Structure 1
Amino acid sequence: MSEKKAYPLRINAEILGAAQRWADDELRSVNAQIEYLLREALRKAGRLPKPRQPTPEDDNT
């Protein structure tokens, strides 16, 4: 799992409220919901790094 970093976020109260309701519907914390939304937006925009492909050396255990 990747390292987590704390980041203060200033956000409009209406947007935060909508994100909180959505998070509640998805049984997530609002923090997890915001991270999910950012990850999905980055993925759709092609901005996430590609996952590392396993190599034959990875199989030498």
Structure 2
Amino acid sequence: MKKEEIQRLIDEGYHIIRRGVPAVVKGDLWEYLNNLDDDSGVLVPSDLLTWSDGELDRIKKA
């Protein structure tokens, strides 16, 4: 995954990527994230913008 792709997801209104699939969270994002299991496979696109290109290349897309 490239930073341009991640920025596009943010621009299109997606809040999370869960198991490789972009999704919109209804309600409070942080409350939603706090209620997830650690192994839920959820990534936050705004956080991904801080990752290196090498780290982003390891993200599987759906």
* TM-score bin, normalised by smaller chain: under 0.3
* Higher percent of residues as strand: 2
* Higher percent of residues as helix: 1
TM superposition score normalised by structure 1:
0.26
